[in-house]
Copies of this chain bind each other. A is one copy, B any other.
Amino acid sequence: MKIYSNELIFIEVEKSEIPWLKIFPIKKYKELSDCDEETKKELLNTMLIVEKTMLEYYKPTKINIAMFGNYLPHLHIHVMARFKEDSYFPEPMWGKKQRESKLNLPNFDGFLEKLLTKIIQ
């Protein structure tokens, strides 16, 4: 689900038990180094805003960030709020499942409101 878009980037939500957003450049770049300077700056700046908002709102155990794109050759940045009781912690979300988990997290809509306020500031 797309939650934000401007002239350079857009943000999607990844369906998951954890808060997990993906930031894409609008133009289909493969690597961060391929991006024009303005897009690169916007991607990294948005990544930092998402991280900061997740830290403030969800108070996670750790933020995880990843840029893989091995399946989908369209650069994107995963930003994930991780909790010590989530199904994979301390493994990455791509690692071995550690437990059955039922997280009780603050409302996503509240997070989204805070995030969009920060982004359009």
A residues sitting closer than 8 Å to B (CB atoms) are 30-33, 40, 44, 48, 51-52, 55, 61-71, 73, 82, 89-92, 94-95
Knowing A51-B32, A52-B33, A55-B31 touch, does A92 contact B64 (C-beta < 8 A)? no
Q: Is A69 within 8 A of B73, CB to CB?
A: no
User: Mind listing 22 A-B residue pairs with CB under 8 Å?
Assistant: A30-B62, A31-B55, A31-B62, A31-B63, A32-B48, A32-B63, A33-B51, A33-B52, A33-B63, A40-B48, A61-B70, A62-B70, A63-B67, A64-B69, A64-B70, A65-B65, A65-B66, A70-B91, A92-B92, A92-B94, A94-B94, A94-B95
Closest 3 CB pairs of A and B: A70-B90, A65-B67, A66-B66
